[in-house]
Amino acid sequence: TSEGGSEPVAAQAAGSGPTFKELVVTTEDNITTIMLNRPTKKNAITTEMYNEIVAALDQAAKDSSVLTVITGAGDFYCSGNDLTNFTKIPEGGIEELAKKSGDLLRNYIKAYIDFPKPLVAVVNGPAVGVSVTVMALFDLVYATDRATFHTPFSKLGQSPEGCSSYTFPKIMGASKASEMLLFNKKLTAAQACDQGLVTEVFPDASFQTEVWSRLKAYAQLPPNSLALSKQLIRAAERERLYAVNDAEVERLVERWLSDECMAAIMGFFQGKSKL
Amino acid sequence: TSEGGSEPVAAQAAGSGPTFKELVVTTEDNITTIMLNRPTKKNAITTEMYNEIVAALDQAAKDSSVLTVITGAGDFYCSGNDLTNFTKIPEGGIEELAKKSGDLLRNYIKAYIDFPKPLVAVVNGPAVGVSVTVMALFDLVYATDRATFHTPFSKLGQSPEGCSSYTFPKIMGASKASEMLLFNKKLTAAQACDQGLVTEVFPDASFQTEVWSRLKAYAQLPPNSLALSKQLIRAAERERLYAVNDAEVERLVERWLSDECMAAIMGFFQGKSKL
Amino acid sequence: TSEGGSEPVAAQAAGSGPTFKELVVTTEDNITTIMLNRPTKKNAITTEMYNEIVAALDQAAKDSSVLTVITGAGDFYCSGNDLTNFTKIPEGGIEELAKKSGDLLRNYIKAYIDFPKPLVAVVNGPAVGVSVTVMALFDLVYATDRATFHTPFSKLGQSPEGCSSYTFPKIMGASKASEMLLFNKKLTAAQACDQGLVTEVFPDASFQTEVWSRLKAYAQLPPNSLALSKQLIRAAERERLYAVNDAEVERLVERWLSDECMAAIMGFFQGKSKL
């Protein structure tokens, strides 16, 4: 089952929905779980996985489950955008690559903004980049005490996404948000909890047991009440989040074509820089 | 006096204003105190009390006091909406009841949004439901360490009100706000303070003494400066709060007519469900 | 150098920019430092200093530095607005003085809202009034454990400025923001950090060493990525901040002409009142 610990598990068909190459999607006890399943690559998100996650969220929105969970297979939650995505240059050149990557990202973030049911992150290990920024769009974020939260945008010559340029200052104040988003500060799970990004931290030994027994209880609550309450909370911010997503993607497309970003990514692949 | 501890006290006429059946309203030392006075019912708010509190706030807005305090008689602060309000079905049936209850609630919350002077909650014990959600519309919230903060909306098939769908995520971040508003997490006073809902927590033994001596000092500050500063803070959010209040009430009126909500309230009265 | 501790230092010419009477402005290691240099007056801000700080920020925005730091000479960070500013009454009388003071303040706050690079407060001691409120417009706020944070507006019959009527409730919730902005609560550095106003607190003995070594490392990050990321964060709030600044200044101009304010400032100069 999806609760079973850190090993990737065989995919179970989830009704008549699409099947996935890099995800394991299961539904049990009123909970649909989307598990990122590239543990040997720390669950880094490839171009294909972005599309698969969007499809899995779309499917979960329509199925009969009450809660939807995102988690990672293995010891990592997610290492963020797979930088090899930037090495597959299409015929249109890097301008085309940047534009397409921007469209992909905008669409990916929009799937989180628009998700109509309670969405839960079960953060089973370190999280990096876009997997951290979107956490502010979840309704619950449970983390093992082994988890860390790292958004090294400027080290890669990039800029914040996932609506974090708006949500992080809103949650933790500008002075702490900037330390993460501009200056690459890596937070421990306890720090991320103190600063409002994480709902609660659990000891790693009991993490899966405690979290899933709690989620199973939550999944027995009146489903419409949960979904409509979540939508009410989101409604107060939805238009703002769309606008922020657009602004962030626009800036990031420019950044991807900048000398700073190209040099930083080149350095990363040449092993010259460490995140 | 209103500072005298946990016993309900005889009402003192507060100038030429209205008299109240379920409230004790007093003015002393530049402070108008509105005490919910239904201690045998844990100060649950009846339809009549909603209207009385609106009238008392209106009166306090116009009197010469500098601060206005809301507190509860007895060991409870307030157990929220009195669910027997839902059992008094008018001729127009439950649709009529839901519509009228919505109008009552919208008007009640509007009284908090529009209150023109500093408003202080002296939380003398556990608080539930709408008495918790409106706390984010107060200027100071002092709590005894016996207080708890509980908003079990989804257990009753309902949805958040009091502008909490906007204010709670703003104050504590979405991941902690949803645990309260969607998943019924009950906070201790210390947790509510950590998450920004409460200004400060005091030991129960010294709570009344410490809080009232502080408030008496505050009530000596320049009154116009206090009122105008409070209005300045509120002005930045007023239109947003009106819109959120409207959206929340609209959703709640739908919820009250839903099968989920009716079943949950029925279960409550049949002793089948516990909050 | 600007890192050298608590003694005011000789001004170094910073390129071809303006020279300053009450500031020491230096650029070193990609960091432009604006040091308030009136230590015998606890770095209280005179009318001239407001204009000098605006000019220094304007110059720093255009120079080649990556980070800009504001700090204070001596043991104080800044004691806020120099109240002797109110004693220099022009020919047009106090109405003219209030109007001009309002224009000065609006322009001063706008310089913070519009600053295009990461802005860092190195809070080397106690901070009062407008030097505290603008901290919510910085990207990083590092404080010695000797620092305190105090905004005694109502004691002086005044009202909040620096966009704090919006930023403080956003960062720390209304119930804690009001205790500072309405009721003059002075925060310790640790409290200001808990409430999100301060990024991190350091022991006084190692404060300068730790902070400056960290800032020098940050100043090596890709400059455009930093500036554009900061602008992205600000863009989400810029129009709102302009509107709040205008509303606050308008209210404050009224306040300065009020009996409450005049009596409070008179009392201050007669030694009758203490902040």
- Name which of B154, B114, B108, B165 is nearest B131 in CA terms: B108
Instruction: Check residue B255 and give its pLDDT.
Output: 96
Contact C141 A165 (CB under 8 A): no
- Mapped onto helix, strand or coil, the DSSP state of residue A5 is coil
The shortest C-alpha distance from C260 to chain B (Å) reads: 6
Nearest CB neighbour to B169, from listed A218, A221, A233: A233
pLDDT in tens, B244-266: 999 999 999 999 999 999 999 88
Give, rounded to a whole angstrom, the gap between the first and last alpha carbons of chain A.
33
Contact B137 C255 (CB under 8 A): no
What residue in C sits closest to B200 (Cα-Cα)? C176
Q: Does A158 touch chain C (CB under 8 A)?
A: yes
Contacts of B197 in chain C (CB under 8 A): 173, 175
Residue B275 pLDDT exceeds 80: no
C94 φ, ψ (degrees, to nearest 5): -70, -25
Number of C-beta neighbours around residue A274 at 10 A:
8
Average pLDDT over residues B163-183: 97
C-alpha to C-alpha distance for C33 and C120, rounded to whole angstroms? 9
Question: Please, which chains are in contact with B (at least 3 CB pairs closer than 8 A)?
Answer: A, C
- Name which of C58, C6, C5 is nearest C32 in CA terms: C58
Query: Which of A158, A159, A167, A175 to mutate to probe the C interface, most C CBs <10 Å?
Result: A175
Contacts of C187 in chain B (CB under 8 A): none
Distance of CA B99 to the CA centre of its chain: 21
The shortest C-alpha distance from B225 to chain C (Å) reads: 5
Instruction: Check residue C275 and give its pLDDT.
Output: 62
pLDDT in tens, chain C (275 residues): 344 444 444 444 445 567 899 999 999 999 999 999 999 999 999 999 999 999 999 999 999 999 999 999 999 999 999 988 888 889 999 999 999 999 999 999 999 999 999 999 999 999 999 999 999 999 999 999 999 999 999 999 999 999 999 999 999 999 999 999 999 999 999 999 999 999 999 999 999 999 999 999 999 999 999 999 999 999 999 999 999 999 999 999 999 999 999 999 888 888 755 66
Q: What is the pTM for the complete model shown?
A: 0.93
Place of tokens 């100060």: B43
Q: Compute the CA torsion angle A62, A65, A68, A71 (nearest 10 deg).
A: -120
DSSP C41-77: GTT-B-HHHHHHHHHHHHHHHHSS-SEEEEEESSS-S
Number of C-beta neighbours around residue B192 at 10 A:
26
Contact B222 C154 (CB under 8 A): yes
C-alpha to C-alpha distance for A69 and A55, rounded to whole angstroms? 14
pLDDT in tens, B59-91: 999 999 999 999 999 999 999 999 888 888 899
The shortest C-alpha distance from A209 to chain C (Å) reads: 31
Q: Does B137 touch chain C (CB under 8 A)?
A: yes
Q: Does C265 touch chain B (CB under 8 A)?
A: no
- Residue A12 DSSP one-character state: -
Query: Which of C156, C181, C182, C245 to mutate to probe the B interface, most B CBs <10 Å?
Result: C182
C-alpha to C-alpha distance for C63 and A140, rounded to whole angstroms? 44
- Name which of C229, C235, C251, C226 is nearest C102 in CA terms: C251
Q: Does C162 touch chain A (CB under 8 A)?
A: no
Number of C-beta neighbours around residue B62 at 10 A:
12
Residues with pLDDT less than 70, chain A: 1-17, 272-275
Distance of CA C37 to the CA centre of its chain: 14
ipTM of the complex: 0.92
The shortest C-alpha distance from C197 to chain B (Å) reads: 13
C-alpha to C-alpha distance for C117 and C108, rounded to whole angstroms? 17
Burial class from Cβ neighbours inside 10 Å (0-12, 13-18, 19+) for residue C64 reads exposed
Angle between helices C238-256 and C164-172 (to 10 degrees): 120
